[in-house]
Amino acid sequence: MSAARLQPLEGGAVRVSGELSFETVPGLWREAAALLAEAQGDLAFDLQAVERTDSAGVALLVEWLRAAAERGLAIQFRNIPAQLLDIARVSGVEELLSPASV
C-alpha cells in the first residue's frame, strides 16, 4: 500500500497522492479538515498522483465537497483518475465531481 498524502501547492491547490482506500481515507480526511478550516478561498485538489482508489476515495471527495459547502467554499477536482471516475459513475455521483458542478 502506498501512503496517501496531501501536499499544499501554490495558489490554493493541493496535490493528492498515493492510494485512496479504506485504510488511508480517515487520515486524509483529518488532514483535509484542517486545510478546509484554514482556507481563505476556494481550493483545487489535483488527483493526478493518485495511484489506486476504492469507493472510500469517492466518499472522501464527496465529503470534501460537503464540508467546503458548509464553509461557503468551492472545490475543484483536477486530473481525476479514470478508476475514480468509474467508481463515481457506478455510485451515481459522477456529476458531483465534474468541474461544471463545483
Q: Structural domain of residue 39, as residue ranges?
A: 5-101
CATH number at residue 93: 3.30.750.24
pLDDT per residue as tens digits for the range 57-99: 999 999 999 999 999 999 999 999 999 999 999 999 999 887 6
Neighbours of 16 (CB within 10 A): 25
Structural domains of the chain, count = 1
Q: Is the pTM of this model over 0.75?
A: yes
pLDDT per residue as tens digits for the range 36-49: 888 888 899 999 99
Query: Using alpha carbons only, what angle is made at residue 42 by residues 33 and 10, rounded to the nearest 5 degrees?
Result: 90
Say how far apart CA 36 and CA 51 lie, in whole Å. 23
Averaged pLDDT of the chain: 90
